[in-house]
Amino acid sequence: GSLAPQLMKGVSMMVMRRSRSFSTPRAAMMAVVFTMFSQVLYLEAITLTIAVLALTFERREVFYGALVFTLVNMLVQGVSIWTFAYCLIYPVYALLFGSLKPVLRRYRWSAVVLVGLCSFATGQLLDLPFILFSPKVTLIYIVLGLKTSVIQGLVSALEALFLLDPLLDRLEKMERK
């Protein structure tokens, strides 16, 4: 058989051990949100979910949660350029939001804008690996995907505008109990 499933299993087990099981519920939340909304064009809620988790919990927990989520997602959807890119993008977003937590919690508009920018960037970043095939193909993907990425970024910013505070409040209440 292929070495990829064995390698993924080993990496996943290592991450699970290092994350001390705190990340597992975070990864489960990300997986549910990603799966629920991935079939609806322009409606991308994983970036907002990562932001809310990063603004509520420790950066390391959310980073490992994003890593576990993306590895499980790769096992479920198969190893591809896109699923591999998710393994790079979403954990970096967890670190970004977690690192900026004091600023984003104080200035909520900055969190709304960053969610929109990251959502926009996701669409563009997912097209970059196609440069392996041809720079022209990559340019075509980026230009054609630009409209979708702009709309997706704006929709995600609107999601954050209306849902960020209620979601943060709810998670903080759950965390206190």
Q: What Å distances lie between residue 144 and 106, 147, 155, CA to CA?
A: 36, 7, 18
Under a CB-based contact definition with an 8 Å cutoff, are residues 55 and 105 in contact? yes
Q: What is the pLDDT of residues 87-131, one digit of tens each?
A: 999 999 999 999 999 999 999 999 999 999 999 999 888 877 777
3 state SS of 21: coil
**In the Cβ-directed half-sphere of 15, how many Cα atoms lie within 13 Å?**
24
Angstrom distance (rounded) from CA 161 to CA 147: 21
Q: Say whether pTM exceeds 0.85.
A: no
Q: Give which of 117, 90, 105 is closest to 164, Cα–Cα.
A: 105
Residue 86: pLDDT over 70: yes
**Residue the block writes with tokens 């104080």:** 106
Q: Give which of 129, 124, 127, 125 is closest to 151, Cα–Cα.
A: 124
Under a CB-based contact definition with an 8 Å cutoff, are residues 171 and 118 in contact? no
Q: What is the pLDDT of residues 31-47, one digit of tens each?
A: 888 887 777 777 899 99
- The DSSP annotation for 49-67 comes to HHHHHHHHS-HHHHHHHHH
Range with the poorest average pLDDT among 12-21, 80-89, 151-160: 12-21
Angstrom distance (rounded) from CA 13 to CA 59: 20
Angstrom distance (rounded) from CA 167 to CA 33: 13
